[in-house]
Amino acid sequence: MKFPPNDTSRNGTQSQQQEEKRRVGLVYDERMCKHATPKAKGEPHPENPDRIRAVWDKLESVGITQRCVVFKAKEVEDKYIAAVHSKSHINLIKTISCNKTVSQRKKVAAKYDSIYFNEGSSESAYLAAGSVLEVAEQVAKGELNSAFAIVRPPGHHAEKSEPMGFCLFNNVAIAASFLLEQKKLGIKKILIVDWDVHHGNATQKMFWKDSRVLSFSVHRHENGSFYPGGDDGSHTMVGEGPGLGYNINVPWENAHCDEADYIAVWDHILIPVAKEFNADIILISAGFDAAIGDPLGSCCVTPHGFSILLKKLMEFSKGKIVMALEGGYNLDSLANSVLACMEVLLEDAPIDESYEVYPFESTWRVIKDVREKLSSFWPILAKKLPKTLTHRLKPLHEIYSSQSEDEDDVVPNASLKRRKRQNSPVQNSLSIKGKRQKALDTDDSEDVEDPQTRKVLKMKKMSNAELAGKLDVDCVSAMTEAARRLCGMENEVDVYRDHIRQLKDKVAEDNGIIEKQNIAIQEGEKRLQQVLNSEKELKDKLLAERVQNDAQIKELKEEQDKVMTANNHMASEIAARDKTLTIKEREIEVLKQQLANLEAKGKEADARGTDCAYCRLLAKLDRLRYVGQAVFMTQHVVGQWWFPAIFSGDMTNGSGGSRRCFLGIWQKPLVVNVKKFVCFMGICKA
């Protein structure tokens, strides 16, 4: 961004005066007016292009724009948006204007809370975020002392992954994240002040765990019933992890709060904490829907009140303040409030911070609660407030009367409204009247603290001519002020009447919704009864199946017992057979031993080499035994002699019969010659 060079043609005094003036940036771009609701019958949407046009026209009409560094907006880059918004959210805002039809945009907008889209929404959102980021960078570099970004759509409701509450991108959060990431700028700590009448829910969440950003929001809350609703705006929401204690909420319990309430919060909460935090730069989410006459805010802060709030913040961060427009829907109040703030940024004239109205009783209660909650994080807030605090008991309509004895004197700035001051106990009022009477009797105006009594004493000392002139001036001023107030009240009545009509329409709409919901509930009850009946039938069916299954399980158990009994018998039989088999194996071993003995005897006979025919025959038979690997006992007749022999295979007896014997000895009684038997047994040595 380039700035105009200093005019060297002027004399030295003029150049020096120009250098001493603050360099204030101002952003405005007509392209941001392209974001608007689709044309439809009825009243325009509160967040419409006329908002920034009214501000610009006001500043231009009084010559503010000629005294500022004015430049057009430029679009923000996606990489900077991605620091606080999700990729899906960026794609939604980027493509909603070019890739969708009107009906498609309406369907998409209906998914979100208080959002509309048109063909200019994407460009406007990118320009708004880019404008705030640009002036924030210039102020951080020192090229500007401060700046005001007249942008729309607003941003402090835009969540990480969805637009909300007229907001598409969170402009201030994007700028804050950018300043922290650009290490060369030297910004290590940022104070974000959100004085919009609605809670800055999204900004709070984006820096919930960040100790580099102190987020402060003062807003209507009313136990979560005021937009955006819920507990996010409660004074108990103080951050988490590293950000614990760096999120401050001041939630109003009622409407009609004015500068007295806001200044009390500044003096007893924000200013002490700001001194301790010592931010490098201050970003203000400057919503002016808390201004007097705003149709959505229903608060009563005057333009002079906003100037006091800003002036108190100018004492910090070397005056490096960036203001970004958020809400504000009464065009006159919006334009006048921005003008008052621009005069503070330009340091046109000293600001009279005196006021003669008091905060609500509920305001002091909220201040005490907030200080108590934050005292463990900010010890400066642990100090006790005075026990006796002057306050208004409840919101009252404004009462003006030049005859009233208790009426406050007019404050120096005409924009600060008169208000009938109400001290809480009646006895206090009587006490003040007594003091005034005593002062009038003594005629000593210098020692009187009460401004009204002092004024009366001064008037007593005037001559008749001076008194008449003074009264004429006061009467004219009072009548002018009363007329101006009357016009303002008429405008407020019109606003309230329209608001009541909108509420009636809303009630009728809600009644229709309730009726539909009742019908839906009845249908749901019918469906629920059907489901219950079906469930009962299913339970009965399951119970019958369970009884049947139990019977089957019982039968299976009986069969299983039978099978187990049979298995036990079979196991016993197997054990008996195994025992028998063991015995047989032992018998076989005995037979094998006997066979081995016989073999040994045969070998022994063979070794003796006997000429005994029987022995030689036995030797031959013994050799035959090794071929078949089977043992047989048989009868064989050789001539007239019978003898037992060992054979392999099938043999025949003398009578032609065939006999087979496995591992056994087959014998037949016969009369054997002793000598031959002895020869057979291997005893014979012949």
DSSP 408: P
Q: Locate 355 and state its tokens.
A: 């006021």
Residue with tokens 């071993």: 589
Residue 618 token pair: 């036995």
Q: What is the dihedral of CA 268, 269, 274, 276, to 10 degrees?
A: 80
Q: What is the pLDDT of residue 38?
A: 72
CA-CA distance, 291 to 288, in Å (whole number)?
Answer: 5
Please, where are the H alpha helices in 142-258?
A: 171-181, 201-206
Q: Is 157 a catalytic residue?
A: yes
Average pLDDT of adjacent 10-residue blocks, the chain of 686 residues: 37 43 93 86 85 97 96 95 97 92 92 95 97 97 97 97 97 98 96 98 97 98 94 96 97 94 96 97 98 94 96 96 97 97 90 78 94 96 79 44 32 33 34 44 48 53 53 56 63 74 84 89 90 91 91 91 91 90 88 84 70 58 49 38 40 40 38 43 42
User: CB count, 10 Å around CB of 543?
Assistant: 10
Say what the pLDDT of residue 227 is: 96
Taking a C-beta distance cutoff of 8 angstroms, is the pair 391, 260 a contact?
A: no
The predicted structure's pLDDT at residue 257: 95
The single-letter DSSP state of residue 575 is H
Token pair 């950000």 in the structure block, residue: 243
b vs e for 350-379, b when ≥16 Cβ sit within 10 Å of the residue's Cβ?
ebeeebbbbbbbbbbebbeebbebbeeebe
* Predicted local distance difference test score (pLDDT) of residue 400: 29
Take residue 451 and report the two structure tokens written for it: 């401004």
Residues 6+ apart with CB under 8 A from 594: none
pLDDT value of residue 223: 93
CA distances from 350 to 18, 46, 309, 344, 396 (A): 18, 34, 13, 8, 31
Pick the CATH number of 24-381 from 3.30.70.20, 3.40.50.1010, 3.50.50.60, 3.40.800.20: 3.40.800.20
Number of neighbours of residue 120 by Cβ within 10 angstroms: 17
Q: What's the confidence (pLDDT) of residue 427?
A: 36
Letter for the amino acid at 468? A
Active-site option among 89, 157, 199, 391: 157
Are 605 and 618 in contact by the 8 Å Cβ rule? The answer is yes
- CA distances to 175, 280, 438 from 147, rounded to whole Å, are 13, 15, 53
Cβ(366)–Cβ(262) below 8 Å:
no
> With contact defined as beta carbons under 8 Å apart, do 83 and 179 qualify?
no
pLDDT of residue 36: 93
Instruction: Name the burial class of residue 38, with classes exposed (0-12), middle (13-18) and buried (19+) by CB atoms within 10 angstroms of its CB.
Output: middle
**Is the Cβ–Cβ distance between 194 and 327 less than 8 Å?**
no
SS3 category, 332: helix
The three-class DSSP label of residue 330 is: coil
CB 388 within 8 A of CB 403: no
CB 128 within 8 A of CB 158: no
Query: Radius of gyration of the chain from Cα atoms?
Result: 55
Domain spans of the chain, in order of start: 24-381
